Amino acid sequence: MRPWLATAARLLLGGVLVVAGALKLPDPAEAARAVRAYQLLPEGLVGPVAFGLPVVEIAVGLALLAGVFVRAAALATAVLLVTFLVGIVSAWARGLQIDCGCFGGGGQVDAADTAYPWEVARDTAMLLVALALARWPHSRLALATRLEPAHG
């Protein structure tokens, strides 16, 4: 039973990460504005983070979907989610009115069109799934177990 739950966790987290990363690629200027809107990074780091982060998300997501380096990818997912949560909560606490930009878009929102509680709840839930997967990474339909049949 547990390996199948781990498979479900892999597909959920991997799918979300790949989609989230891919949606940030088509409009890099928008991605940069989304990062800048958090007002946490110096201008020199805005571009590298805005443009590098989606690639990391996609890479980690693909690893989870394929089932390779599952524990490392689950831990990386947890680290990413903690970073996102810190950003979102700090924006909320500072009274910034921004969209998290989690799935592209981001930055400007009309008036009080923010969704902080939902964004925090979603990322927290995913963080718990990622931590559980890091604890029990053994799953079905994973490429790594096919390459390494002797490996438990």
Partner 1 sequence: MADPKNPSRGQGKKEAARQRIAEKRAAEAAARAAEQRRRRAVVGAAVAAVVVVVAVVVAIAVQTSRSAVASDAARPDGTSAGGNGYTFTVGQADAPVTVDLYEDFQCPNCRDFEDRAGSTLEQLASAGTVKIVYHGMAFLDSSQNDDYSTRALNAAAVVASSAGPEAYEKFHDLLYANQPDERTGSGLTDQQLISYAEQAGATGEDVATDITNLVYGEWVKGAEDQASKDGVNGTPTVFVDGTELADLTADGVTAAVQAAQRG
The pair of three-digit structure tokens given for residue 139, joined into one six-digit string: 């799953």
Segment interacting with partner 1 (CB under 8 A) among 11-19, 27-35, 79-87, 118-126: 27-35
Count interface residues toward partner 1 (CB under 8 A): 34
Q: Any idea what the Cα angle at residue 142 is, between residues 136 and 146, rounded to 5°?
A: 120
Q: Say how far apart CA 67 and CA 76 lie, in whole Å.
A: 14
Return the number of the residue (1 or 152) whose C-beta is nearest partner 1. 152
Which amino acid, one-letter code, is at 100? C
Which amino acid, one-letter code, is at 103? F
Which amino acid, one-letter code, is at 54? P
Q: Which of 11, 19, 85, 96 binds partner 1 (CB under 8 A)?
A: 96
Q: Which of 9, 13, 63, 134 binds partner 1 (CB under 8 A)?
A: 63
Cα 114–chain centre separation: 19
Q: Which of 15, 71, 72, 83 binds partner 1 (CB under 8 A)?
A: 72
Segment interacting with partner 1 (CB under 8 A) among 77-85, 91-99, 115-123, 125-133: 91-99
Q: Say how far apart CA 80 and CA 43 lie, in whole Å.
A: 21
**Which H or E run contains 57?**
helix 43-66
Binding mask 104-123 for partner 1 (x = CB under 8 A): ---xxxxx------------
Q: Which of 37, 64, 81, 88 binds partner 1 (CB under 8 A)?
A: 37
Q: How far is the CB of 23 from partner 1 (least distance, A)?
A: 14
If one asks whether residue 93 binds partner 1 (CB under 8 A), the answer comes out as no
